[in-house]
Amino acid sequence: MTKHGDRGFVGSIPQIYQQHLVPLIFEAYAADLAKRAASIAPKCVLEIAAGTGVVTRQLAATLPGDATIVATDLNQPMLDVAAAIATAREVEWRRADALDLPFADASFDAVVCQFSAMFFPDKAKAFSEARRVLRPDGAFLFNVWDRIEANEFADTVTKALETVFPDDPPRFMARTPHGYHDARVIAADLSRAGFAARPQIDTVTARSRASSFRIPAIAYCQGTPLRTEIEARGATRLEEATDVAAEAIAQRFGRGAVDGRMQALVVTIET
C-alpha cells in the first residue's frame, strides 16, 4: 500500500466514515480539542485536514462568538460531506494542502488538526506551514492516536484480518493511523519545523461505544483506506473481511452494544 493509498478517502468512504467512524472514535476527541482551542480565546482559527468536519462543528459551537473559522482539507469529497452538515456559525470551507497552505504569514491565532498528522508525507513540512501562518503567541493544537494496542476496536479488527489474509495481512491501521505515537519523534519533528517552545503532550484515554458489534467492523473495514487495502487483496472480499472483523468484535465485547478503550496523544505548542 502506497502512502497515497493510505490517504485515499474516496468513493463511498467519506459517507461511511461520517456515519460510523465519526461517532465511534472522533467525537469525544473533537470536543476535547475544541475546548482546548477555546481556552486561548482565538479570534481567527485555521483547521487543517478537517475531514468531514467533526472538529469544525465543535469549534463552531465552542469558540467565542466573534471568532472566525477556516476549515481546509486536501480531499474534496471529505469537504463536500462536511459542508453539507450544518454548523453553529458560518465556516469558510477551502481545499488546501497542509504542506503548502494558501495563506499569508501570521494569519491565524490558532491552527487545529485532528488525527491527520499521521497521514502527512512530510510531517516537519506540514508543521512548519502551521507555524508560518500562526501569529506571534499563537498555538498549534493537534492529536494523534496512541499505539494500536491501546485502541481496542482498531486492534481487534487488525488482528481479525490477519486470519482472512494470513499471507499478506492489511496493516493500514497499525502502519498509519496508529503509526505516529512516539512523543520524542513528534517533539523532534516540531523542532525541525522551527518551533522553539517545548510541546505539551497529554495522553488522553476515552471510551469508544457503538449500539452494535457490527458498527466498528463496518467503520474500520469500509470507512477508511483499509477498505482499499482489503479490496486490493480480492475485489469481492470486503464483506467477508467485515464479517470476520465483526465476529471478532462480538467475541471480545459481546453481541449487543459494545464499549472499548481508545487512547490518543494531544499536543499543544506555542509560537
Are the beta carbons of 266 and 202 closer than 8 angstroms?
yes
Cell of 82: 462536511
The predicted pLDDT at position 5 comes to: 46
Q: Name the band, by pLDDT with cuts 50, 70 and 90, for residue 12.
A: low
For the chain, domains (ranges, CATH) are 3-270 (3.40.50.150)
Is residue 14 scored above 60 in pLDDT? yes
CA 27 to chain centre: 10
Find cell 480531499 and name the residue. Answer: 75
Is residue 13 scored above 80 in pLDDT? yes
CA 61 to chain centre: 19
Residues 170-225: tens digit of each pLDDT: 999 999 999 999 999 999 999 999 999 999 999 999 999 999 999 999 999 999 99
Kindly state the percentage of the chain with pLDDT values over 90: 94
- Please compute the mean of the pLDDT values over residues 229-247 and round it to a whole number: 96
Residues 155-182: tens digit of each pLDDT: 999 999 999 999 999 999 999 999 999 9
The predicted pLDDT at position 11 comes to: 55
Residues 48-103: tens digit of each pLDDT: 999 999 999 999 999 998 999 999 999 999 999 999 999 999 999 999 999 999 99
Q: Name the band, by pLDDT with cuts 50, 70 and 90, for residue 2.
A: very low
Residues 113-148: tens digit of each pLDDT: 999 999 999 999 999 999 999 999 999 999 999 999
The predicted pLDDT at position 175 comes to: 97
